[in-house]
Amino acid sequence: MSFSQDLYLKALTFAANAHGEQKTPIGLPYIVHVSSVAMEVMAALRAEPGGDEDLALVCALLHDVVEDTGTLPSELEAAFGRRVADGVSALTKDPSLAKPTAMRDSLDRILRQPAEVAMVKLADRITNLAPPPPQWRAEKISAYRAEAVLIADTLGAASALLAARLRQRIARYGR
Ligand code: NI
């Protein structure tokens, strides 16, 4: 693997500051989610070398900062460059759209980005298909599973390893 450790730490620190006190649905500091997504991407890059590892890992670490914090794409561009800002923007759902439409719209924008950006989306959903929070109802769980199938079908070509892991998680999810 060849990625910049300095850049990785810069992105991790940026994400930690941006997410601040935000927690995951099970109450962990949000940076645990972000780090888990980066770890999934790293494992895939090790198994399937090639591609822009810095782009993949930095987008993984920053993938939720625009959607979940006040961070603007222009701030990402200033700190990490245009490709990262464009990648994170594609990974950000448009809040003006209804839920299913917003996911489809984001997936369409991800498809127009380098494959590294699609890898981040696959890794994000692998991470999010851990056992659902106890308060989630059956309909919400099955909708979330259906959305994961759409992600695997739409973006799976970006990484055979991540697509296989996502399909494994889908098969086990909510059982
Ligand atoms: Ni996420």
Task: State the distance from the centre of ligand 1 to the C-alpha of 13, rounded, in angstroms.
Answer: 16
Task: State the distance from the centre of ligand 1 to the C-alpha of 123, rounded, in angstroms.
Answer: 9
pLDDT tens column, 57-104: 999 999 999 999 989 999 999 999 999 999 999 999 999 999 889 999
Task: State the distance from the centre of ligand 1 to the C-alpha of 91, rounded, in angstroms.
Answer: 9
- The DSSP string of 60-103 is HHHTTHHHHSS--HHHHHHHH-HHHHHHHHHTS--TTS-HHHHH
Task: State the distance from the centre of ligand 1 to the C-alpha of 48, rounded, in angstroms.
Answer: 22
Half-sphere exposure of 141 (CA within 13 A, CB side): 16
Neighbours of 137 (CB within 10 A): 9
Task: State the distance from the centre of ligand 1 to the C-alpha of 94, rounded, in angstroms.
Answer: 15
Instruction: Specify which residues 23 forms β-bridges with.
Output: 29
Neighbours of 121 (CB within 10 A): 26
pTM of the model: 0.96
152 near 170, Cβ under 8 Å? Answer: yes
pLDDT tens column, 120-149: 999 999 999 988 878 889 999 999 999 999
Task: State the distance from the centre of ligand 1 to the C-alpha of 35, rounded, in angstroms.
Answer: 10
